[in-house]
Amino acid sequence: MAENRGVILFNLGGPETLKDVRPFLYNLFGDPDIIRIKNSLLRKTLAWTIAVTRQRKSRDLYRQIGGGSPLRQITEGQAEALRARLEARGIPCRVYVGMRCWKPTIDDAVGRIRRDGITRLVALPLFPQFSFTTTGSCFNYFRGLIENEESEARMKISYVDAWYQEPKYVETMADLIRESIQRFEEKDPTKIQLLYSAHSIPARYVEEEGDPYLVQTKKTVDRINEDLGHICPSTLAFQSKVGPVKWLGPPTNAILQKLGADGAMNVLAVAVSFVSDHIETLQEIDILYKKLATDSGIENFHRAASLNLHPKFIEALADIAQRSFEE
């Protein structure tokens, strides 16, 4: 019998309107893989408190990028592009989107997978580097939905834990950096500082629990720099810290200030752990950090374009899915 193939793309999601901000924040901070509080009631109470207290500030940030996140639209575009690319390779399949904290939810995707009678599924996170807080959270929730289901007992599932060294992914990142370097009037690349900025996570996940995110992120940066031929000096920093606990560092804002103090005139930000534009790229980097760069004396600050629907990036996803189907 021929396999009925499918791919589910996982992401966290983002609020599409200002009224979505509070429930999105509640879903995000209520995730037991993000807020490690075993007591469910206490965790939900904390999530509600954070959502209520942060909603006004978060809405102001989303107003700056048009009133909502474009993540759903971009991710659904990636899903359609991947489906078309696989079909062109002679691999017909359906591609689903499952968001951990917003819509379309992982529940929605699983419902469609069941209705479509999928027998061979690839679980593909849109996070190049594995973290308990992203891929781990999506996989745990997904497995919780499908375990002990008779329909899933007949479905073979391949889980892609990480793909931070996927060749075409690395090549695409390097290509986008090369394109962005051309925006600078300074043509000597040794005078253009690459500032790789990744989403931070609580440090104890790495230091105490063995989360591989930091190691994998560093390897990603190394691979991209190798592809570039080490033409620019570079620094890895971390953004989007929330709350008083210790997070991975150094912080992107502190590194920007240091670069300015050290006399850097040209800085290119590279959002290394994100594959799509959303609040962290469009507001945090493009608006907040751009202003900070100017205030710190950096004359030219740009950001390399996000992967989004770049054809070679879609090829990278297709390579991953095809290999998984062939396992």
- 180 Cα distance to chain centroid: 20
How far, CA to CA in Å, does 292 sit from each of 77, 256, 285, 287, 306? 32, 7, 10, 9, 21
Task: Return the closest-CA partner of residue 69 out of 58, 78, 80.
Answer: 58
pLDDT classification of 39: cutoffs 50, 70, 90: confident
The alpha carbon torsion through 265, 270, 271, 277 (nearest 10 deg) reads 90
Quick one: pLDDT at residue 123?
A: 98
What is the average per-residue pLDDT within 138-156? 81
- The answer to whether 95 and 80 are in contact (CB under 8 A) is yes
pLDDT classification of 36: cutoffs 50, 70, 90: confident
* pLDDT tens string 230-244: 999 999 999 998 877
User: Is the pLDDT at 32 greater than 90, yes or no?
Assistant: no
Q: How many Cβ atoms sit within 10 Å of the Cβ of residue 209?
A: 10
* pLDDT tens string 267-321: 999 999 999 999 999 999 999 999 999 999 999 999 999 999 999 999 999 999 9
Quick one: pLDDT at residue 232?
A: 98
User: Is the pLDDT at 1 greater than 90, yes or no?
Assistant: no
DSSP per-residue letters across 62-127: HHTTTSS--HHHHHHHHHHHHHHHHHHTT---EEEEEESSSSSBHHHHHHHHHHTT-SEEEEEES-
- The answer to whether 142 and 311 are in contact (CB under 8 A) is no
Q: How many Cβ atoms sit within 10 Å of the Cβ of residue 263?
A: 8
Long-range Cβ contact pairs of 145-153 (< 8 A, separation 24 or more): 145/106, 145/107, 145/110, 146/110, 151/114
Alpha carbon distance 251, 32 (integer Å)? 25
- The answer to whether 75 and 124 are in contact (CB under 8 A) is no
Alpha carbon distance 111, 46 (integer Å)? 30
pLDDT classification of 153: cutoffs 50, 70, 90: low
- The answer to whether 255 and 291 are in contact (CB under 8 A) is no
Q: How many Cβ atoms sit within 10 Å of the Cβ of residue 188?
A: 10
Quick one: pLDDT at residue 34?
A: 80
* pTM exceeds 0.75, yes or no: yes
What is the average per-residue pLDDT within 19-48? 88
Alpha carbon distance 311, 153 (integer Å)? 35
Alpha carbon distance 64, 246 (integer Å)? 28
Quick one: pLDDT at residue 31?
A: 85
What is the average per-residue pLDDT within 12-40? 90
* pLDDT tens string 75-100: 999 999 999 999 999 999 999 999 99
Quick one: pLDDT at residue 67?
A: 97
Is the sign of the CA dihedral 264, 269, 270, 274 positive or negative? positive
What percentage of the chain has pLDDT greater than the value 90?
Answer: 87
* pLDDT tens string 161-181: 999 999 999 999 999 999 999
Alpha carbon distance 156, 318 (integer Å)? 18
* 288 φ, ψ (degrees, to nearest 5): -65, -55
Q: Which two tokens stand for residue 93?
A: 């399949």
pLDDT classification of 33: cutoffs 50, 70, 90: confident
pLDDT classification of 41: cutoffs 50, 70, 90: confident
Alpha carbon distance 60, 58 (integer Å)? 5
- Residue 109, judged by CB atoms within 10 A of its CB (0-12, 13-18, 19+), counts as buried
User: Is the pLDDT at 191 greater than 90, yes or no?
Assistant: yes
What is the average per-residue pLDDT within 251-258? 98
Q: Which domains does the chain have, with CATH numbers?
A: 18-63 (no CATH), 167-303 (3.40.50.1400)
Alpha carbon distance 41, 14 (integer Å)? 24
